[in-house]
Chains A and B, each alone.
Chain A
Amino acid sequence: MKTRNLFIFCLVLTLPLVYSMLGGDLPGGAYTMAVLATLVQFVGGSRFMRAAWSAFKHRAANMDTLVAVGTSVAYLYSVWALGSGGEVYFEISSLLITFILLGQWLEELTKGRASKAIEKLLDLQAKEATVMKDGKPVKMPVDQIRVGDIIMVRPGEKIALDGEVTEGSSSVDESMVTGESIPVEKLIGATVIGATINKSGTFKFRATKVGQDTLLAQIIDLVGRAQASRAPIQKYADRISSYFVPTVLILAILTFDVWFLLLGASLPAAMLFAVAVVVIACPCALGLATPTALMVGTGRGAKLGILIKSGEVLEAASDIKYVLFDKTGTLTEGKPVVTDLVGEDQTRLIQVAASLEAASEHPLAGAIIEKAGDLEQSTLAVEQFKVVEGKGVVARLGADEAMIGNRALLKDKGIDLPLEHEMIALEKQGKTVMIVAQKGVVLGLIAVQDTPKPNAAAAVAALVQMGLVPAMITGDNDQTARAIAAQVGIKKVVSEVLPGEKAEQVTAFRQRGKVAFVGDGINDAPALAGADLGIAMGSGTDIAIEAGGIVLVKNDLEDVVRALKLSRKTFARIKLNLFWATIYNVAGIPIAAGVFVGVGLTLNPAIAGLAMALSSVSVVTSSLLLARSRI
Chain B
Amino acid sequence: MEQILILLGSIVMIGSIIWWFFAKPVDDAVDAISDGKLQTINITVSGGYSPNRIVLRQGVPAKLIFTRQDASSCFEEVVLPDFGVKAKLPVDIDYEINIQPDTAGNYHYTCGMHMFSGEIIVK
Contacts and interface: CB of A to CB of B under 8 A. Distances in A.
Interface of A: 47, 50-51, 53-64, 104, 107-108, 221, 224-225, 227-230, 234, 237-238, 241-243, 245-246, 249-250, 253-254, 256-257, 260-261, 283-284, 287-288, 290-291
Q: 3 closest pairs, A vs B, by CB? A: A54-B47, A287-B113, A58-B48
Interface string B1-29: 00100110010011001101110100000
Contact of A107 (B3, B69, B73, B84): B73
Interface residues of B, number: 36
B115 A62 contact: yes
B123 interface: no
A334 B11 CA distance: 74
A60 B17 contact: no
A246 B21 CA distance: 7
Nearest to A283: B115
Given A224-B86, A241-B113, A257-B10, A104 B48 contact: no
B48 A250 contact: no
A152 to B, nearest CB: 36
Given A238-B114, A291-B112, A51 B81 contact: no
Contact of A60 (B7, B83, B110, B116): B116
Contacts of A246: 17-18, 20-22
Contacts of B69: 54
A370 to B, nearest CB: 44
B21 A257 contact: no
A229 B73 contact: no
B70 interface: yes
Interface in B77-97: 79-81, 83-86
Interface in B24-54: 24, 46-48, 50, 52
B85 A60 contact: no
Given A51-B47, A51-B72, A54-B47, A59 B24 contact: yes
B114 A241 contact: yes
B74 interface: yes
Nearest to B84: A225
A108 B71 CA distance: 13
Nearest to A261: B3
A583 B77 CA distance: 26
Contact of A261 (B6, B74, B110): B6
Given A54-B47, A54-B48, A287-B115, 18 more contacts: A54-B46, A55-B48, A58-B47, A58-B48, A58-B50, A60-B47, A60-B116, A104-B73, A225-B84, A228-B86, A229-B84, A234-B114, A246-B17, A253-B10, A256-B10, A283-B113, A284-B113, A291-B79
A55 B113 contact: no
> Which residue, A47, A62, A288, has most C-beta atoms of chain B within 10 A?
A62
Contact of A230 (B46, B52, B71, B81): B81
Nearest to B13: A253
Given A62-B74, A257-B6, A55 B22 contact: no
A102 to B, nearest CB: 14
Contacts of A284: 113
User: By DSSP majority rule, is chain B's interface helix, strand, loop, or mixed?
Assistant: mixed
Given A51-B47, A57-B47, A261-B7, A62 B86 contact: no
20 contacts: A50-B71, A51-B74, A53-B47, A54-B47, A55-B74, A55-B116, A58-B48, A61-B21, A64-B74, A224-B86, A225-B84, A228-B81, A230-B81, A238-B114, A241-B114, A246-B18, A246-B22, A249-B17, A253-B17, A254-B14
B72 A64 contact: yes
Contacts of B115: 62, 241-242, 283, 287
A256 B21 CA distance: 21
A51 B71 contact: yes
A246 B50 CA distance: 21
Contacts of B3: 260-261
B114 A260 contact: no
Nearest to A225: B84
Contacts of B80: 228
Contact of A228 (B18, B24, B85): B85
Interface-central residue, B17, B79, B81, B115, by most chain A CB under 10 Å: B115
Contacts of B112: 287, 291
Residue among A51, A237, A260 with the highest chain B CB neighbour number at 10 A: A51
Nearest to A253: B10
Contacts of B10: 253-254, 256-257
A228 B74 contact: no
Given A51-B70, A291-B113, A59 B13 contact: no
Contacts of B22: 243, 246
B14 A250 contact: yes
Contacts of B113: 241, 283-284, 287-288, 291
B71 A227 contact: no
B110 to A, nearest CB: 8
A274 B109 CA distance: 34
Contacts of A55: 47-48, 72, 74, 116
A234 B115 CA distance: 12
Contacts of A62: 72, 74, 115-116
Contacts of A50: 70-72
Nearest to A243: B22
Nearest to B52: A58
A229 B81 contact: yes
Contacts of A250: 14, 17-18
A261 B5 CA distance: 11
A73 to B, nearest CB: 12
A481 B13 CA distance: 73
Most buried by B among A53, A243, A287, A290: A287
Nearest to B48: A58
- With a 10 A CB-CB cut-off, give which of B10, B18, B84 has the most chain A CB atoms: B84
B118 to A, nearest CB: 11
Contacts of B85: 224, 228
